[in-house]
Amino acid sequence: MTASTPLSPASTTEAALSAGDLALLRTAIAESFASRERGRHPFGALVADENGVIVARRGNNSAPPEGDPTQHAELSAAAEAVKHLTAAELARATLYTSAEPCVMCAGAIYWTGIGRVVYALSEEKLLGLTGDNPENPTFALPCREVFARGQRRIEVHGPMLEDEAAGAHEGFWQ
């Protein structure tokens, strides 16, 4: 096993992804808008198998009424994907998310064995949108840095489509 290493910035451009990847990323972004419409935090994530078939889809992030701060969209989608895919299939699966996975979600992605992440909004840009809102006390720690500490490589692409993803957050955190 080798530790993951951050990918070069060139590998994170939209041109590096297939049309299917971009469509699935836009589906995750749509989940973030739908989550907001339900009165929840505007985040969305999904897991697709190696053929692009969605096996888990979640929108949410710990806003009332449930109020469980561990139920981020990425963590919930990863946990659901484990119920549908074998370990080998998870290694070839991709988690698509409207925002860069936080430290907790990066850990969940690592431990479930998902092999690839494609995200829209960077943690840095998200922090600029949320400010110091107490409902989103984020870490300034990119998911690539979390994955780099692990014993297996997780391919990461992002940020991309940031303006599209930021739309779900505009005016939400005031």
Cβ atoms of residues 111 and 74 within 8 Å: no
Identify whether 101 is preceded by a cis peptide bond (ω within 30 of 0).
no
Say whether 14 is catalytic.
Answer: no
Alpha-carbon distance 12 to 106, whole Å?
A: 17
Within its chain, how far is the Cα of 130 from the centroid? 17
Alpha-carbon distance 10 to 140, whole Å?
A: 22
Alpha-carbon distance 79 to 131, whole Å?
A: 29
**Cross-strand bridge partners of residue 72:** 61
Cβ atoms of residues 131 and 173 within 8 Å: yes
CB-neighbour burial class of residue 103 (10 A; exposed 0-12, middle 13-18, buried 19+): middle
Q: Which of the following is catalytic: 31, 50, 66, 74?
A: 74
Residues taking part in catalysis: 74
